[in-house]
Chain A
Amino acid sequence: MQTMLHITTLHYLVLGAALFLLGVIGVLTRRNVVIVLMSIELILNAVNLNLVAFSHYWQGIPARFGGGPLALHGQIFSIFVITDAAAEAAVGLGILIAFFRNKETVNIDEVNLLKW
């Protein structure tokens, strides 16, 4: 019963799933492109949270099973994901500025040049 009071890996995974769902709802329902990009950031953060939680979980595994205090691969992966998020945000906002210069709007429903 005592372990019920502690925060296990599963709690972090549930938190990550909640953030992921919020990001998905934001991507699917908002009309402002800036907020859609922010929701993508939320999704990437949820993935990061899962990676770091699993990294912490692996650190509790004995070293002969591949764990141990040096098993920090999840944190390395999360750093790479943060790098990708930075690149994605820069390119996405550049595209947004180019689009705004052409059509004077940030409404995602008017991004329909490829639609017929």
Chain B
Amino acid sequence: MVIGGIMVITRKNPVHSALALIATLLAQASVYLMLYAPFVAGVQVILYAGGIMVLFLFVIMLVSIDRSMKERTFNSQRVVGVIAATALGGLFIAVYVNGKNIFPEGVPAIVEGDNTQNVASLLYGQYMFSFEIASLLLLVAIIGAVVMAKKRI
């Protein structure tokens, strides 16, 4: 998974990056299965690896990649960017080392049962309003994408 992520940000060809991102997303779906979240894993495979990546590949084919292949891969602020990311990583490490005692070292329980059914009853029960707001967000995104991609408004 980490190797796939490294491939995403280092390949010169955007198509190779997209394929590495698909590998990363599938590996993450398997991690979800390890965490006993089969519904989220299914959503990950179908929506990310199936839907969003098709969208990405379509746009890569639509815009020409010939010119960007000849140019430099990284921009002029790459050194500053890597330094800032390293500082952020140091922050993460400090937080995890200091917060290690918060988590008991016990193994999380193995949860068997009707995961999808429980997710659905929460999603349509307690989180009903958020669910409707999400559908509204998707409607706005559809309208926005169509307006943006139209030739002449």
Alpha-carbon distance A73/B141, docked complex (angstroms): 25
Asked if A79 meets B43 with Cβ closer than 8 Å, knowing A42-B21, A94-B144, the reply is yes
Residue pair B151, A60 in contact (C-beta under 8 Å): no
Partner of A34 from the list B14, B77, B111, B137 (CB cut-off 8 Å) is: B14
A-B contact count (CB 8 A): 230
Contacting residues, chain B, for A72 (C-beta < 8 A): 115, 118-119, 122
| A49 CB, nearest partner CB in chain B, Å | 6
Give residues in B with beta carbon < 8 Å to A.
1-2, 5-6, 8-9, 14, 17-18, 21, 24-25, 28, 31-32, 34-37, 39-40, 43-44, 47-48, 51-52, 55-56, 59-60, 62-63, 67-68, 71-78, 80-82, 84-85, 88-89, 92, 96, 100, 103, 105-109, 111, 113, 115, 118-119, 122-123, 127, 130, 134, 137-138, 140-142, 144-149, 151
A-B contacts, 14 of them at CB < 8 A, read A3-B105, A10-B103, A12-B35, A26-B9, A29-B75, A34-B60, A42-B8, A45-B28, A49-B28, A56-B108, A59-B109, A82-B44, A87-B138, A87-B140
Give residues in A with beta carbon < 8 Å to B.
3, 6-10, 12-15, 17-26, 28-32, 34-35, 37-39, 41-42, 45, 48-49, 52-53, 55-57, 59-60, 69-70, 72-73, 75-76, 78-80, 82-91, 93-98, 100-101, 105-109
